[in-house]
Structure formats: C-alpha cells, structure tokens
Structure 1
C-alpha cells in the first residue's frame, strides 16, 4: 500500500527551503487551504510552488461551512449569560453583534437552535429571531475569532462550494492544477458539482468531516478519487 502525504503550506512554510525539503521527504501534494487564503493570493502561491518543486498543488475548498465574520480588534470575548445579535447585514463584529457567513444563513436558523462557535469554544442558543437579526444567549463563554468554524446543531442546507471556491478553482485550472479537495462533502452530488467545474482529468479528494458525510460515505466514495477523514470534525 502506497502512503500519500498531503502537506499544507501556510505563511511560515511558503518558502523555497521548506518546499524543497518537503519534496525530498516525499510529499505527495501541497495543499492550499482556501478557508485561509485570499483569492487574490492564489495565483502567486501556485506559481511559487511550481517554480520551486514538481509536487502537485491541491486546492482545498472552503466548502459547506458556516464561519464567523470580521471583528474590529482581534478576538471577541463573549461572557456566559450575556446576549449577542447575529446580523443579516454586514457589520464589524464586537461583543454586541457580529456576522455569520454566508449572511443569509440566518434564514435557516430557528429559535431554540444551539450554535457552537470556533470548535466548541463558545456555545450559544437562539432566543429570538427577526428578519434583520437573531439573538443568541451565551451558554458557555469564551473568545471567537474571525473566519472561525460555526456549527448549527441541526441539519441546514449550504451549497457545496462558495463563490470564493469557484473563483479560486478557475484560477487553479488556468495554472494547471488538477487536484482539488472538497471540504464537508455531504453527498455524491456535492462531489459531482466540483468535478463539473474542475474539468476533465481532475483528481478529487472528498473530505469526510460531518455526520452527513459519514452517513453518505458509500455514495461519496463511489464518485471520488480519494477520501480524507477528519476525525476532529466528525461530530458536526
């Protein structure tokens, strides 16, 4: 059995010395995490990797994930038993209000839903819903940062690819990228949508990191080229 090694490159490792050393150690793919990479930076990163090694690039999508919005001065501190609003319109986040992305996710959230933020750092419950916002009661307090993962403890519907994913995949295709990872794959159709936009000859890694993905594992596997199991997210 051949071992495949997927290496994520970030700010501290995106340099010639590290890339060449990882190639010497038989890295199979270099992953660019689109959840933490601006679309404007994707082309430059791909060019840099391709210039310094022959290891293929893999673009890892944001996928069907709710995330926190912008904040003004670092992490937001939410204290137990306090209340905070999640707004439909764009705001700069603070301890009184913030956004979740996609913004229209508030349409699917209902009173009494439990919402965990930043890998369960903060646990909240919805106590009020209006068109313009929802109000959360803080059950377990803590800090939440920008662009952090959010989980609604009930099944909600999200597109398998974000607008940012579509743009980045298009850039990648133009630069010869053929490996793509689908975050939070939930069903076979999610994989098929990625394959349709990534083009013929693409190699798709479906990431199983939710209860829905685990439930539909067989159908996802049947249309994927590889699977990646994320044990840390399996309760989502």
Structure 2
C-alpha cells in the first residue's frame, strides 16, 4: 500500500471524530482573540471564525486573522475566515448627552440635516428615507424597543411622526422599516474599505448584510472579480425583501446566513421560524451551505449553561437541515466561549444521533436532480447507507460533488479530497464534509487507491469495511463527476 500525506494538514484530522457533523461558526472578539481560548474552541468543535467588521479596526482584525491561521496550522484542521460586512444599516445620529427619553404619544422628527439630537428631532443617516416610506409607515428604533408612526413627509427629507412605544434612544442606534424595500445601495464606503482589507488578507468568505435581492450579490461578486478575488459570498437574509427573492438569491450566493436578529424586526417575529425553515429547505435543495444565526445560546454570554429553549432552538435548526449554527456575542464577549462551543457541539451530536437512530423523522428525501453529477451524488449516498459504508470519499475541485452529497445527509462521514487549499476551507462550512488538501491525481486507479489509503490512515475505515468513492475523469473540467467506485478495504 502506498503512503500519502495531506499537503495542508496532518493526517490526524481534528474534527473527524468530534461526534458531530453540523458545523459551528464562532465570532472572534475580546473574549476569544487569544491563542489558548481559540485553540480550546477549535478542540471543542469550532469549524469557522467570523470577524464582525461593524466593530474593531483593520489592525485588530488582521491580528485575529493571523491568530486563526496559526491555530489552524497548529491543530491540523481547516478554519475558514468569514468577514461580515456592516452593510447599509440606517442609524440615528449623535444625541446630546448620549441619549434621550421618548414618551408615548409625543411628536418626533427624523431629519437628514446634521444636528445634535434631542427630544424633538434626530439626524437620520439615510437622507432618502422619506422617499421610501409613506404616511402610516411604522419605524422601529433601537432594535424595535422604540416605535414611531409616520404622520407627515416633507420634500426636504424630514419625517414627522408620533412615538407609539417610548423608551431611551441612544446615539447611533439602528432604524428598521418593516416590510419596505429601500433604495439603499448594497455597499457603503466603509464596506468598500473593508472589502479591500478582506481581499488583501485573503479571507475565505464575505458576508453581505441587508441583502434585498440577487442583484446585491451580483454587485459584490462583480466588485471582487474586478479585484481578481474569488472570495466566496454569503448572503445574509434579514430583510423581508430578501425572503421574497430567496430563490434567486440562493442561486447567486455561495452560502446563505439566516440572520434572525434583524429579520425579527423586518417581519413579524412569529414569521421568523417559518422563514428559517423555508430558507434552509431551499438552500439544501440547491446544495448551498446555510448558517443559522443570532441568539442561539445567548444566555451563555453570562451563564455557564444554556436555557432549555436555547437547546431546543439549536436542535431544531439542525432538524430543519442547517449546515452550520453560529455564535455571536457568546464567543466574542461572553464569559464562557470554550464552554459555549462545547455545549453547542453536544447538542448537535445528540440531534444527529436522533436522526441516525430514527428517534425523530429524517429530513425528507430530495429529488436527485437532472444532472449526472446530482444523480451520482444521490446514488453514492444510497449505496453508502445500504452497505453501511465506513466513509464516502469525494474527489472535488469545485466543491460541488461534496456539497451535493452533503445535502442528502448520508450516515457515513464525507471525506472531501481536493487539490485546492481555498476549496478545502470553503468546504469546512458544509454539513458532514471533512476536507483535506491532496496532490492533484491524474489517473482513476490512483484516485481509488488514495481514497482507501486515506480512509485507513484517518481511521475512518478498517479492513472489511466498504468505502464509496465518488470522482470524475481526472483530465475533465471541474464539475464533471461521473463515477462511483465501491471498494472493500483489504480486498
């Protein structure tokens, strides 16, 4: 038997035996931007890191990127980096003294004029807002804690209204306009600077905030292409307009994030679970990785264990078919970042065990689709399940083969072998996929032998086990998967 080694990572792949297949994304911040904590999080099951460009500066983010890459190399596992763009969020301006108390029934004005805010008026960051709303529109200030009903619109851009739910309004707080398609451009000047930084640093993903249509994704991809960058784009779904255009957005995006925080402000909170399930289903059907985010284990920012409702929320997202679940403040500023990742890993492992043991209904079968690659991926899953195969090994250059297999949720682990280090990191977000970078193999027989060798070396398979191998003609262009090989180890 020939000996092979992974170009990018040691042979003992850290997450192959972590006990869970759902991926975990953790946000880096003051609580987690040190070597010991981040290594602890990765050992506990972290699969990707998120940098929130709404906070911090480029120096801080560059240090976090260097840390993530050092930990990835030291522990021998891919650790993709997601840069989360702030996007065109509407905000109020500065307020005298930092905050003001607004009471029910009082008049209040939003103005494009730069002024020191007070109890009568405040600057709005989007001068054209008056052209996008109408009399009777409901505006939500400070994450919905304050509500204002529009009573009059002025040609100079002022918006008069009456406060229908009062509270304390602080400087720079956000404004949401539920159910309204805004004329905002998808990228701000800050976003453009952050994109340049991300390209320079070579991050793996950029998450586009406040997406309203597929055109927004195209705009970012065109900009990246002009910079000779192939950074993958994540569409954050938080606007009601994006939910309406979800099919087209999923078609354009490389991945999708169900960002439930602003989504709960943009539509009725009772609609969020329905939207979450619909988005996840569409992404799974299209083999597009999907991340479920926001307040998943929020109580663990300050507590060592989650609430029952949070545990159920994480498990239900997995039962829905999400590829990944995300932690925000829990790992960025929380008191228990490592413990939070460990808890999420245990919840995911138990939910997946319930699937395998038929304690809960498995995800509905998907039609394999019309292409040869889709049919091959579906057939490999059926073969692996019926044979109780130890592993499915997929050779992939574009990542499509591994993602298509993943969407069928096979019982066997998926080992994705790719010559591309970038693809290795991207595939780390897909459910159940364990990516390894390998040499580019030129013959089908070499692919088969190498797949079996890796399955043995990684202790995925043992003599007598079946391994299902999915590949294509090595000389064919990417995306031409057309071959299934079933090998019994040792025969």
Q: TM-score range by the shorter chain?
A: 0.7 to 0.9
* Equivalence for 1:139: 164
Shift of 1:145: 2.9
1:47 aligns with 2:73: no
1:96 aligns with 2:115: no
Please list the CA deviations of residues 93-143 of structure 1 after superposition, one character each: whole Å capped at 9, or x if unmatched: 222221222233334333332211122211101223331522221011012
Which of 84, 105, 127 lines up with 1:81 in the alignment? 105
33 and 147 in structure 1: CA distance in 2 versus 1, 3 angstrom threshold = farther
* Equivalence for 2:40: 21
SS in 1 for 2:250: helix
Please list the CA deviations of residues 28-50 of structure 1 after superposition, one character each: whole Å capped at 9, or x if unmatched: 22212223x25xx1243223331
* Equivalence for 1:219: 248
Superposed counterparts of 1:42-191, under 5 Å = 42-51=58-67, 52-54=70-72, 55-130=79-154, 131=156, 133-153=158-178, 154-191=180-217
139 and 203 in structure 1: CA distance in 2 versus 1, 3 angstrom threshold = same
* Equivalence for 1:202: 231
Q: Distance in 2 between matches of 1:3 and 1:185?
A: 25
Shift of 1:190: 0.8
SS in 1 for 2:95: coil
Give me the TM-score of the superposition, normalised by structure 1: 0.87
Q: Distance in 2 between matches of 1:48 and 1:233?
A: 26
SS in 2 for 1:101: coil
177 and 107 in structure 1: CA distance in 2 versus 1, 3 angstrom threshold = same
Q: Is the 8 A contact 1:19 1:49 kept in 2?
A: no
Q: Distance in 2 between matches of 1:24 and 1:93?
A: 48
Q: Is the 8 A contact 2:89 2:175 kept in 1?
A: yes
Q: Distance in 2 between matches of 1:10 and 1:100?
A: 29
Q: Distance in 1 between matches of 2:157 and 2:214?
A: 34
Q: Is the 8 A contact 1:43 1:172 kept in 2?
A: no
Q: Is the 8 A contact 2:234 2:253 kept in 1?
A: yes
Shift of 1:168: 0.6
Q: Is the 8 A contact 2:101 2:119 kept in 1?
A: yes
71 and 22 in structure 1: CA distance in 2 versus 1, 3 angstrom threshold = farther
Please list the CA deviations of residues 144-198 of structure 1 after superposition, one character each: whole Å capped at 9, or x if unmatched: 2333332224332221121111111111111222311111222111111112223
Q: Is the 8 A contact 1:76 1:95 kept in 2?
A: yes
Higher helix share: 2
Q: CA RMSD in A?
A: 2.3
Of 212-221 and 197-206, deviating more is: 197-206
Q: Distance in 2 between matches of 1:111 and 1:118?
A: 21
Of 3-12 and 222-231, deviating more is: 3-12
Q: Distance in 2 between matches of 1:46 and 1:233?
A: 27
Q: Which runs of 5+ in 1 are unaligned?
A: none
Q: Is the 8 A contact 1:43 1:171 kept in 2?
A: no
* Equivalence for 2:25: 6
Give me the TM-score of the superposition, normalised by structure 2: 0.44
Q: Distance in 1 between matches of 2:256 and 2:21?
A: 14
Q: Distance in 2 between matches of 1:26 and 1:183?
A: 26
27 and 94 in structure 1: CA distance in 2 versus 1, 3 angstrom threshold = farther
6 and 148 in structure 1: CA distance in 2 versus 1, 3 angstrom threshold = farther
Shift of 1:87: 1.6
SS in 2 for 1:124: strand
